Structure 1
Amino acid sequence: MEKELPIYTDPDYGIQFIIDVDKLEFRQKGQQDNRYTLEDMIDCGEEGYCFQRYDKERNDYMWITVPQFVNLAPEMMAEKYNKAVEEILLLTDFELMVDQDALTRRIKYGQIPTVEIGGHIFYAEARLDLLRPKDDFSTLGISFDELEDWYVDHRNAYAFPYDPRTHQIASIEWDKLVEYPKDLLFVEIPFVKTLDPVGWNRKWGWGETEGLKETGLRLEFKAETIPWNKTGIDELIAENRLKQPIKNANNEKLSAPKKNKGRKI
């Protein structure tokens, strides 16, 4: 049986909103296409969240302010974040949703987030646009600009071939590939903003804690290694194999010695 979600009624306009803690969004009751996520709203701190709603009858925008989730649905927030209700009531949404220990280590002590790729640690530095391999000074590492070519939109992540020997994106001649690449990995890591949201904010001149409720804050990540047979290259390999006999036949024709007819007797 589905949980009955709490309702918030705006005191100024009487509009009711369903409070969905799992999705961290507000949906207008009776018009659930009108939904407002954390990304859609302005974070007004302890006052809650603010957003504009267009009213067809008034032909005007309404400015709506809703309290924090911890105030509107403390029991559900306690369950979601595995804390006691009494503890929840002493916290703001930000204090609950964002790891405060990680925040202190990142901002006060300057700890750089890391991501383990193929068994090697990389420092994720959004402001420098770089994944920098630990204890390897033979390479600058992998730039996030390079990774843009490997961005997977629906996963908000980068999925790319990785060379564990050079600690760089692997160079593969895809049109010549007739088997799974040897000694190379195919890995997936989160988008740069997820890896280093504080560095991302600094890079673009925003407040250091901007958007941390949406992204969360972690200081350690591990790349997912994807088996080559799950990467979708089987079809490419099959196509290249079909081309290979034709190419070999053409090469044989070019290299075969020409027959000398000689003189007729």
Structure 2
Amino acid sequence: MRVIPGRTPKYMVIRDDLIKRISRGEFAPGDALPGQRHLSEQYGVSLMTLRQALDELCDRGVVDQLPGKGTYVRAMPVPYSMGNLRSLADDLRAHGIEVLTRVLARDVVAVPDELAARLGIAVGDRVLTLERVRVVRGAPLIHQVSYVPQPFGDLLQGVDFEKNELYAVLAERAGAAAVQAEETISPVLMPERIGDLLGLPEGVPAMRSERITRDADRRTLVVDVAILAGDSVVIRNIREVGGNQISYAVGDGAGLPGATGPGPG
């Protein structure tokens, strides 16, 4: 890529392009960026201009410059919204962040006793369970189990949830659009099995998100239960006239401003 002269300073164009490349996963956290001479030739600029761009990235906490060793990508916090009705994946993508979904299991089971009331069904009724791991920038960050009551569960047969988002499919197949959601965040210790899936040891601090999503008739569509690493979550409450805006981020805990925000979809 050669920088085309224009109003935007060249170093800012390079800075923004490198941020996009890092967000897409071209350079993962801990990776070294190509050498400065290579990057300056790639972008068609002088070493001085290239160093301006790298200094900006360093000031923003995107990279670390280690004398004599090179420039390394830091773990960038991932905005995680709590105030809209998009799915988690769609919300991250709206921030230009690549997210992949791994489906671990899907089954129809008796509803867990503690979730029956939240789903508005009787203990012992059958629900569809969908277990997924969200992979952000190549790293598994969130474990999520979604519980879908009938008749909605039956309408989701055959759907590839590694390519399709649950809320979008519910709206398309059942005409059931999410209009209201309630989310509760609480601290927990990382369970052994989930820790293994996320590459974290059992017992480390974690956060548990439980979200109940309802349609216009106040029927519960989904109960989502997600586990996130505690040292990678920053919760922020912005108080304004007319209400609060709450957000949190997952990443290295550096606390980039999150999207305003309930949670995993």
Larger Rg: 1
With a CA cutoff of 8 Å and minimum separation of 6, indicate the structure with the bigger relative contact order.
2
TM-score of Structure 1 vs Structure 2, range by shorter chain? under 0.3
Which structure dedicates a bigger proportion of its chain to strand? Answer: 2
Normalised by the length of structure 1, the TM-score is 0.27
* Higher helix proportion: 1
